[in-house]
Structure 1
Amino acid sequence: MDLNSDLGEGFGAWKMGDDDALLEIVSSANIACGFHAGDPGIMRRVTERAVERGVAIGAHVAYRDLAGFGRRAIDMAPDELSDEVLYQIGALDAFAKAAGGQVRYVKPHGALYNTAADDEEQAWAVLDGIRRYDPSLAILCPPDSEMSRQAENFGVRAYAEAFADRAYTAKGTLVSRKLPGAVLHDADAVATRAVEIAKTGKVIAADGRELTIPARSLCVHGDTPGAVELAHRIAKELVSAGVKIKSFVDADR
């Protein structure tokens, strides 16, 4: 099972999360590309450390929304969004290659992730941007989503992820951050949930219903308070349960 986290989400003097500590734990890093967070210096430092630690690098592409941290949906023409996805991948890959690595996959962030999961045009734009840059890149996205279906049409490998630290609705979508209980903070509960997903592909929704999520990757948000402790506990419990932690982009090799 892959363990991924959103990293590089500071901007200038504004700090977010503990990138160095999380890079010691996770197997894949979704690195902000400057549109919802991140700047050239942060992108350079995080890609360098990811390469040093052998962590797979993913482009965490987003709507251009620094003030809203990429969590506000923007009604964009598909061609324009495709260009912005392509731009972000290329920017991060420049730093990754300078550090001796490369971008291996793409994961949309925040509002773009949620919108493209259901919206055909927005999903098309994300996949078109990926294809135009490098069709061998993978995409990390929700299972049975519009992005996973578009990926098949574009010939791009799609890998499903689940969220260890977020609550799910009965429909299998994430509970809105505007609602109480949307983000899970109890390390014991989150670690138990992660092992259950990894071993059985099952997760309990907020209403108690059992959902099936055939995930190849588990996400711990880098901006969640206590993210390092959560990631550490998840990794420890996964290993104790006999689950090997390995990036999804390397798992099939």
Structure 2
Amino acid sequence: MPHIDLNSDLGESLGAWTMGDDAAMLDIVTSANVACGFHAGDAAGILSTLKAAAAQGVRVGAHVAYPDLAGFGRRSMDVASADLRADVIYQIGALQALARVAGTTVRYVKPHGALYNTIAHDQRQATDVIEAIRAVDASLALVVLAGSPLVAWARDAGLTVIQEAFADRAYTPQGTLVSRREAGAVLHDERAVAQRMLRLVREGVVEAIDGSLTRVQADSICVHGDSPGAVAMARAVRDELAQAGVTLQPFA
């Protein structure tokens, strides 16, 4: 039987600012990428999300990012290697401590936003992130953009690599994500997205923004927790896959 992981970015509320519905998403996903305070999230909220994930049996990963609260981690940064390595170590360590108190364990790392997109192709910053993960715990898996150069760089460094596809994002014919600055970059039709992800699991392809098919080999599917209608979309994807006989299970 085919199987796939379903993940979402959670723990991103900050003070009086609420982002997404963590409780509802944790009833749907199998893995939770939990913010570490650099792009979003405060300590109390992150701890609450971790406790809820532990109660639901959802696997937890560190959603590390550039230090960019104002830009929600979506602004590219040319961070010096020493700073980037230390930033990633700091974030993983903070989440590990909170997770321990919450009764769970950090099992993987998934970079967020601009950091995720940058290290998919920038070998210098990718190496910094890889070295930081290895310095903390080389058994932590790294979630990466499916088909990107980072796949080989991380594997060559000895990390377990989880290739990821995005349910609610448009793809270019080359298999990369369409920039959020472009029209049509974020998808909103629940039914279409669910059918699109079923085809991904069955055939290993997604329809690109120009209508062509692009090959995407994925171990996990992400539904962004901050998107409008995120919970309904995640549930539609899960239901579509389950009804087709696909097993939903965490990769970690």
TM-score normalised to structure 2 length? 0.97
Match of 1:101 among 97, 101, 104: 104
2: distance between equivalents of 1:145 and 1:127? 15
Deviations 1:136-172 (Å, cap 9, x if unpaired)?
0001111232322221122110010100100001111
Counterpart of 1:45 (choices 37, 40, 48) is 48
Gaps of at least 5 residues in structure 2 are none
**Where does 1:89-238 land on structure 2 (aligned, <5 Å)?**
89-238=92-241
The whole-number CA distance in structure 1 between the counterparts of 2:246 and 2:87 is 37
Give the residue type in structure 2 aligned to 1:45.
S
CA RMSD of aligned residues (A): 0.8
- 1:77, distance to aligned residue in structure 2 (A): 1.3
- Aligned equivalent of 2:20, options 17, 21, 25: 17
2:66 aligned with 1:66, yes or no?
Answer: no
Residue 35 of structure 2 aligns with which residue? 32
What is the rounded CA distance, in whole Å, between the counterparts of 1:118 and 1:142 in structure 2?
A: 10
Q: 3-state DSSP class of the match of 1:6?
A: strand
Q: Secondary structure at the match of 1:3?
A: strand
Kindly provide the amino acid, as one letter, of the partner of residue 27 in structure 1. T
Measure, in 2, the Cα distance between the counterparts of 1:187 and 1:65: 30
Cα distance in 2 for partners of 1:163, 1:83 equals: 28
Deviations 1:54-102 (A, max 9, x none): 0000100000000000000110112210110111011111111111111
Deviations 1:34-65 (A, max 9, x none): 00000101110000000110000010000000
Contact 2:147 2:217 (C-alpha < 8 Å) held by counterparts: no
Choose from 4, 7, 10 the match for 1:4.
Answer: 7
Residue 174 of structure 1, CA deviation: 0.7
SS, match of residue 218 in structure 1: strand
Tell me if structure 2 keeps the 8 A contact 1:60–1:108.
yes
Residue type matched to 2:245 in 1? G
- Contact kept, 8 Å, 1:127 with 1:147, in 2: the verdict is no
Give the alignment's TM-score, normalised by structure 1.
Answer: 0.97
8 Å contact kept, 1:123–1:146: no
CA distance in 2, matches of 1:191, 1:143: 19
* Matched residues, number: 249
